[in-house]
Amino acid sequence: MDLGQLSLYVQKGNAAKAKEMVAEALAQNISPTEILNTGLIAAMSVVGEKFKNNEMYVPEMLMAAKAMNAGMQVLEPVLTATGVKPIGKAVIGTVKGDLHDIGKNLVRMMLKGAGIEMFDLGIDVPAQAFLNKAQEVGADIVCLSALLTTTMPYMESVIKEFEKAGVRSQFVFMIGGAPVSESYAKSIKADYYADDAVVAVDIAKKILAKKQ
């Protein structure tokens, strides 16, 4: 089987074909790691590059991420059973008071496509929930999203919650969303600012490479 074809289906956002091909590849005894790396992760790298070069836009990127996720649904149980470990763990959510999730969902899917185990807390997430989940799963990265200038200050409340618990230094904070900026990230003592999902993947890979 040509895993390059699987990669193309993912890039084109064909979820049904991606799912079908992952199942076929497993049936042909192709290693789950190879399917993941050559079929799915490679596809999302191409998608990321095309997005950077303005050859692909958010709707197409979302479709590709959904196709990758469809393939992962089939592959994940097998990867887990064979003991293949994710490259890291991240908790993600839109902060309290904010009900927007398209950007957050795209970041989650792209990070998952890079081999990171994702724990999505959804929207309108209080600081305590971020803290509880990050500690429970032993997260490497905590990703905070906000799309409103009115909810953006709550990102600082989340970081302060970790400080109060005395565990701030155990986690790396990455923030993003339309009103957020590099200077704002610095002002609230977040570690990184990502202005889109592709940048978020690059940053996350660097963070995890340093930790290894």
Shared domain check, 66 and 133: no
> For the chain, what percent of residues have pLDDT higher than 90?
88
Shared domain check, 72 and 97: no
Query: Residue 79: pLDDT above 90?
Result: no
Q: What is the pLDDT of residues 182-208, one digit of tens each?
A: 999 999 999 999 999 999 999 999 999
pLDDT at 93: 98
Shared domain check, 115 and 76: no
Shared domain check, 206 and 140: yes
Mark which of 62, 81, 100 sits at the end of a domain: 81
Shared domain check, 116 and 74: no
Query: Residue 85: pLDDT above 90?
Result: no
Structure token pair of residue 165: 């618990």
Nearest to 174 by CA among 118, 102, 113: 118
Shared domain check, 62 and 19: yes
Give me the CATH number covering residue 31. 1.10.1240.10
Shared domain check, 155 and 104: yes
Mark which of 44, 62, 81 sits at the end of a domain: 81
Decide: 105 and 93 in contact? Cβ < 8 Å. Answer: no
Which residues are registered as beta bridge partners of 144?
93, 175
Containing structural domain, residue 198: 88-211
**Per-residue pLDDT averaged across 7-32, rounded?**
96
Query: Residue 99: pLDDT above 80?
Result: yes
Shared domain check, 171 and 71: no
Q: What is the pLDDT of residues 105-161, one digit of tens each?
A: 999 999 998 999 999 999 999 999 999 999 999 999 999 999 999 999 999 999 999
pLDDT at 83: 85
How many domains does the structure of the chain reveal? 2
Contacts (Cβ under 8 Å, ≥6 apart) of 133: 91, 119, 121, 139
Shared domain check, 194 and 119: yes
Shared domain check, 165 and 139: yes
The 10 Å Cβ neighbour count of residue 190 is: 22
The 10 Å Cβ neighbour count of residue 11 is: 23
pLDDT at 58: 87
pLDDT at 118: 96
Mark which of 81, 100, 134 sits at the end of a domain: 81
Shared domain check, 111 and 36: no
Query: Residue 91: pLDDT above 90?
Result: yes
Query: Residue 212: pLDDT above 80?
Result: no
Shared domain check, 132 and 70: no
**Per-residue pLDDT averaged across 76-104, rounded?**
92
